[in-house]
Amino acid sequence: MKKTAILLMLITILSKTLGFIRDITLSYFYGASSISDAYLISLSIPMVIFTFVGIGISTGYIPMYSRITQEYGEKEGNRYTNSLVNILTVICTVIVFLGLSFTEELVHLFASGFEGNTLALTIKFTRISLFGIYSTGLIYIFSGFLQLKGSYVIPALVGFPLNFFIILSIFLSFSTTTMMLPIGVVLAHVSQLLFLLPFVYRKGYKYELVADIKDEHIMRMAYLALPIIIGGSVDQINVLVDRTIASKIAVGGISALNYSNKLNSFIKGIFVTSLSTAMYPIISKMAAEDNINGLKKTVSEALNSISLLLIPAAVGAMIFAESVVRLLFGRGAFDLKAIEMTSNALFFYSIGMVGFGFRDILSRAFYSLQDTKIPMINATIAMIINIILNILLSKFMGIGGLALATSISGIFCTILLLLSLKKKIGLFNMKKTAFSFLKITCASLIMGAIAKVIHIILSKFIGEKLGLIGAICTGAIIYFIIIYFMKIDEADTMINVIKKKLKTGGEGARNE
């Protein structure tokens, strides 16, 4: 799992970096403006409507396909996959039809503060971007299919064609027409699907026109997926509430939330997505074999690894929020007001970074045990807390209050999941995890303080941007030196892997 996770981490870093270039391109040409707000809302509407359905289906698909092929063989597994593909295509058609029929009402729901030209532009954008859900739905199924066949790299690469076409559409939109923005997004999703299909067929998939809704496997998967879909819809409702309130706080408020959340998600996604993707099939197999001790150990190691990487990242993001935003976005149409709003939101989003990382791992543990109800219930409780805090904190803190509300609700949901998992499978090295968490937090705070001082000193001699890069690099070195002497198992494992790689590389060079 660790080798796969490291490989996925490297791919994710490259993909997320390209995604950052996409966001920087958007911020350069459109800043935090009514056009960027309209564009982002037009992307959010199909995402909110469908993405959680896709996540629920793909999460339920993996354990069901494994069971079907084990009991009935590959042919039945292929039939099950085709039924799911065809049923999902019909569902997408219904969603697109309803979306086109009630576009204005959807935009009002997602951004009640929009009016005039911004409202009209968002409606036009949304009517185009809705068609992207066809590709998105199939990508979820085929990515799960490839992972089941042991191919983790190909699904991880789909971010590259996506970001390439979106960046290209942003460039073209500025010199031609803004309608290229949503058209580019639809083409970007199609390019992802076209990228996956040759590999899917190579792994043995054959398309058939079957759609048996009453199939027992489809019914069982729907039973597993429904709570995941509801739980996923809760997350999207949170996004909806955040952006609706942001649309009333300030012009560009939605864009500021988006840019800061992308920065936060970039860091979290590199480590958490890689670990959870590699871990899920493994713990699903452990759960099927009733290997609870193995499952406990794997989950505990994943939580400790996330702490090791995300806590210092969160501390760094809080300390250097404004400097990072200025470095990445501070050019073109992205003005001082946009920098202030975005850095404020980034600071408060970073508070919940570790909590959301833990939540993703813990939720996968429940899914592997075929318990999808507990994560759904906890997510619903967290959503209610988020909405209440959104209304209260936004009045006093503006955009930053929305981000803080999200972080608090995420941390609360994680605590509930920890307690629920302990009750379900018993203790899983929680004392060790808590002790490692405290040691890593202390090391991160020391690192943050030193890095801040170094940034102040370097900025006087080589400028703020180079000073920031120097401070971050120095801080990372200091952090790893500190944790090396703290004797944290996951840190020792990482260092040993690096030493082994270096030794192997050195021996290979000598042999040449």
Convert 43-101 into a string of H (helix), E (strand) and C (coil): HHHHHHHHHHHHHHHHHHHHHHHHHHHHHHCHHHHHHHHHHHHHHHHHHHHHHHHHHHH
Select from 368, 370, 361 the least CA-distant residue to 414. 361
DSSP state of 200: H
d(CA 256, CA 268): 18
Please name the residue ranges forming H helices in 269-351: 274-288, 292-319, 321-329, 336-351
Q: Is the dihedral of CA 471, 476, 479, 481 positive or negative?
A: negative
List pLDDT tens digits, range 138-157: 888 888 888 878 787 888 88
pLDDT at 127: 92
Q: pLDDT at position 186, please?
A: 92
Q: Is residue 60 within 8 Å of 222, Cβ to Cβ? A: yes
Residue 143 and residue 270: Cα distance in Å, rounded? 18
Buried b or exposed e, range 254-280, using 16+ CB within 10 angstroms: bbbbbbbbbbbbbbbbbbbbbbbbbbb
Stretches where the chain sits below pLDDT 70 are: 1-9, 32, 49-56, 58-59, 212-213, 224-225, 228-236, 251-252, 281, 331-333, 488-512
As given in the structure block, the two tokens for residue 441 are 């937090």
For residues 423 and 362, what is the distance between their CA atoms, to the nearest angstrom? 13
Phi-psi region of 463 (alpha: psi -120 to 50; beta: other; left: phi over 0): left
Q: Mind listing the pLDDT tens digit for each residue in 197-244?
A: 999 888 888 888 877 667 777 777 777 667 766 666 666 677 777 777
The pLDDT, as a whole number, for residue 365 is 84
Cα separation, 144 vs 72, in Å, equals 19
Predicted local confidence at residue 449, as pLDDT: 92
Locate the domains of the chain by residue range.
Answer: 2-428, 430-502
pLDDT at 510: 44
Give CA–CA dist 325/269, Å, rounded: 18
pLDDT score at 143: 86
Give CA–CA dist 238/235, Å, rounded. Answer: 5
Name which of 274, 335, 328, 326 is nearest 305 in CA terms: 274
